[in-house]
Amino acid sequence: MRRVFRSLRSFNYRVWAAGALVSNIGTWMQRAAQDWLVLTQLTNHSASAVGIVMALQFGPQLLLMPWSGYAADHFNQRKLLMATQATMGALALILGILTVTGLVQLWHVYVFAFLFGCSAALDAPVRQTFVAELVDEADLSNAIALNSTTFNAARMIGPAVAGLIIASVGTGWAFLLNGASFMAVLTSMSLLRTSELRPNARAHRTKGSVTQGFHYVWSRPDLRATLVMLFLIGTFGLNFPIFISTMAVGVFHTDARGFGLLSSMMAIGTVSGALLAASRERPRFSSLMLGAAIFGLGCTLAALAPNYWLFAAALVVIGVAALTVTNTSNALMQLSTEPAMRGRVMALRLGVALGGTPIGAPIVGWVADHLGPRWALGVGASSGFAAALVAIAFLSQRDVEASGLPPAVKR
């Protein structure tokens, strides 16, 4: 157990993790409340509208990918994080005021989803690489895994709390509380001992440095295979707001509390997956392959679930698998990348993993509206199995190259 939480020996990491936990709880409250607002209050159970919100919120990850990675590799990461976190807090407060006063309309949610996505696109690669400034290189893999544990522990708490808040005082208060929660991470950033930080190597500002990340990744078959897997699962599989909300409302006919509980059930799986990742000394590509296959299996079980509680159990399986894929890919790419290139490579990773949402979310939403939520989960299952096949192909090719024999000979 001590090995699992070894990164917490660092004062800076402890402070960072505490602030991030509070802020992440608020973020998951907002995500659940936003889905519920669009699905039940601003539309007549339109999964397509939820898909559009997701597309607008995650599309900037792809649009701003070159510049967000450039910023992460060239600017002071602590100051940049404080700016992006403050911006997202302000946006949450404004949306909360609009909702509490009854003025909110669907187009408002679209606009705020896009603005929030732009801020998050700049924030994400910095936040994921900033952890390297908080711990020794030997503890980096563990710190990445504990970051995921914090994020997904918040995922377990936030939606359930959002369900209670929505049922008792209204959706807008979830947005307001999220806005206030950003004070926690801003406070933690101000309390860091700057003398104990381990600044990442800053990249030199040269012509073409924005596109160097693309060339770097393209020259690495392992990184290319990882990104293809992330694109498949990120585009067609990580559409949980659509999967969970449409199954909760359209199939099991539950209320806001039941909807929030389903999101928390999946978070139990993601926390478990994060703790498993934290216990490993080094990430392995085979774990990525296994996670993709189990993701496909979990989505299949969820699509076939005959009742609410079996569906909730399948979400736990999906949570473990999804975290295994995202966390293992994160650790593999960070640990195998030159420090001065990490920001751009991580921006590319996030752009591929989340930037496909504008393609996949509307498609999955259309399938849920016209064919049913269970068929939408079938799309997610297919993405997991396809990603596993990509991993198998890469590992087979790597084994062939390692043996020095042509494919026809090595069998």
Answer yes or no: are the C-beta atoms of 363 and 232 closer than 8 Å: no
Q: What is the pLDDT of residues 283-330, one digit of tens each?
A: 788 889 999 999 999 999 999 999 999 999 999 999 889 988 888 888
DSSP string, 192-237: S-GGG--PPPPPP--TTTTTHHHHHHHT-HHHHHHHHHHHHHHHHT
**Can you tell me the distance from the alpha carbon of 257 to that of 245, in angstroms, rounded to the nearest whole number?**
12
Domain total for the chain?
1
Stated as kind and residue range, the H or E segment containing 26 is helix 11-36
Q: What is the mean pLDDT of residues 178-193?
A: 92
- Is the whole model's pTM more than 0.95, yes or no? no
pLDDT of residue 247: 93
Q: What is the mean pLDDT of residues 385-395?
A: 94
Residue 186: count of CB within 10 angstroms of its CB: 16
Residue ranges making up the domain that contains 205: 6-403
pLDDT at 211 over 70: no
More confident residue, 121 or 67: 121
Residue 192 phi/psi, 5-degree rounding, is -60, 145
Q: What is the pLDDT of residues 124-163, one digit of tens each?
A: 778 877 887 888 877 777 887 788 777 777 877 888 788 8
Answer yes or no: are the C-beta atoms of 235 and 356 closer than 8 Å: yes
**Alpha-helical regions (H) of 336-372:** 342-355, 357-370
Q: What is the mean pLDDT of residues 221-236?
A: 91
Q: What is the mean pLDDT of residues 87-107?
A: 95
Residue that the structure tokens 């711990």 belong to: 135
Highest mean pLDDT among 30-39, 71-80, 89-98: 89-98
Identity of residue 84:
T
**Can you tell me the distance from the alpha carbon of 343 to that of 121, in angstroms, rounded to the nearest whole number?**
12
pLDDT of residue 3: 66
**Can you tell me the distance from the alpha carbon of 386 to that of 293, in angstroms, rounded to the nearest whole number?**
8
- Does residue 132 sit within a domain? yes
Q: What is the pLDDT confidence band of residue 406, given thresholds at 50, 70 and 90? A: very low
**Can you tell me the distance from the alpha carbon of 300 to that of 85, in angstroms, rounded to the nearest whole number?**
37
DSSP string, 137-195: GGGHHHHHHHHHHHHHHHHHHHHHHHHHHHHHT-THHHHHHHHHHHHHHHHHHHHS-GG
Percent of the residues in the chain that have a pLDDT greater than 90, as a whole number: 36
- Does residue 130 sit within a domain? yes
Residue 138: count of CB within 10 angstroms of its CB: 9
Identity of residue 370:
H
Q: What is the pLDDT of residues 319-328, one digit of tens each?
A: 889 988 888 8
- Does residue 24 sit within a domain? yes
Rounded to 10 deg, the angle between the 77-100 and 11-36 helix axes is 30
**Can you tell me the distance from the alpha carbon of 124 to that of 122, in angstroms, rounded to the nearest whole number?**
6
Question: Which tokens is 341 given?
Answer: 């290139």
pLDDT of residue 405: 45
pLDDT of residue 76: 79
- Does residue 392 sit within a domain? yes
- Does residue 408 sit within a domain? no
Contacts of 64 (CB under 8 A, 6+ apart): 118, 121, 122
Q: What is the pLDDT confidence band of residue 257, given thresholds at 50, 70 and 90? A: confident
- Does residue 352 sit within a domain? yes
CATH of the domain at 79: 1.20.1250.20
pLDDT at 203 over 60: no
- Does residue 246 sit within a domain? yes
- Does residue 17 sit within a domain? yes
Exposure pattern of 333-353 as b/e (b: 16+ CB <10 Å)?
Answer: bbeebebbbbbbbbbbbbbbb
Mean pLDDT score of the chain: 84
Question: Which tokens is 167 given?
Answer: 């049922």
Secondary structure of residue 353 in the 3-state scheme: helix
pLDDT of residue 300: 97
**Can you tell me the distance from the alpha carbon of 39 to that of 142, in angstroms, rounded to the nearest whole number?**
38
Identity of residue 120:
A
Q: Which of 170-184, 351-365, 395-409 has the lowest mean pLDDT?
A: 395-409
Cα 97 versus chain centre, distance: 26
Selection from 88, 137, 109 nearest residue 43 by Cα: 109
**Can you tell me the distance from the alpha carbon of 244 to that of 148, in angstroms, rounded to the nearest whole number?**
21
Q: What is the pLDDT of residues 65-86, one digit of tens each?
A: 767 777 777 777 888 889 999 9
**Can you tell me the distance from the alpha carbon of 308 to that of 252, in angstroms, rounded to the nearest whole number?**
6
More confident residue, 359 or 205: 359
Cβ neighbourhood burial of 208 (10 Å; 0-12, 13-18, 19+): exposed
Identity of residue 133:
E
